[in-house]
Amino acid sequence: MILASGAGNTASPNMAPLADFLGAGDPENFLTAFWILYIIINLLSILVFNLGFARKLPLLKNIVVYAAMLFGNMFITFLAFTLPIIESLFIAAVVLGMYKLQLRRHKAEDEEEKQTS
């Protein structure tokens, strides 16, 4: 029985769309794709953290949180090669951004009501 596979084609793992776009399946591009994904994950996770965290933290606590985030995102980046981590962070950022805009608009309307009363 002859297997129906093309000559020279190797089976690549299922990659997330962005990892596949960056060419992470190719061993020559893996390191470049890893660092690009790592930077994007860090930017999006910082954005989601700032949009979702309700109160401001002191400077030292902020440094600890960001250091832990940068360290933990290294492991999350490996998951981003096969799971839609970046896409999920992007959707979370959009939803939290819309929530913050609505909250700001609602607070402005409440203050305007108080001033007219």
**Domain membership flag for residue 1:** no
Residue 2 resides in a domain? no
Cβ atoms within 10 Å, residue 72: 12
Reading the block at residue 31, the tokens are 């390191």
In a domain, 8, yes or no: no
Residue 95 is assigned to a structural domain of this protein: yes
pTM over 0.85: no
The answer to whether residue 4 sits within a structural domain is: no
How confident is the model at residue 55, as a pLDDT? 77
Residue 65 covered by a domain: yes
Encoded tokens for 23 = 């060419």
Residues of the chain falling short of pLDDT 70: 1-13, 54
Return the ∠ at Cα 28 (arms to 24 and 30), rounded to 5°: 30
Domains of the chain: total = 1
Return the closest-CA partner of residue 29 out of 39, 21, 38: 21
Cα 51 off chain centre by: 13
pLDDT value of position 54:
67
Instruction: Give 43-54 pLDDT, tens digit per residue.
Output: 999 999 999 886
- Give residue 13's pLDDT: 64
**Token digits of residue 14:** 């299922």
- The pLDDT, as a whole number, for residue 3 is 46
Domain residue limits at 50: 17-116
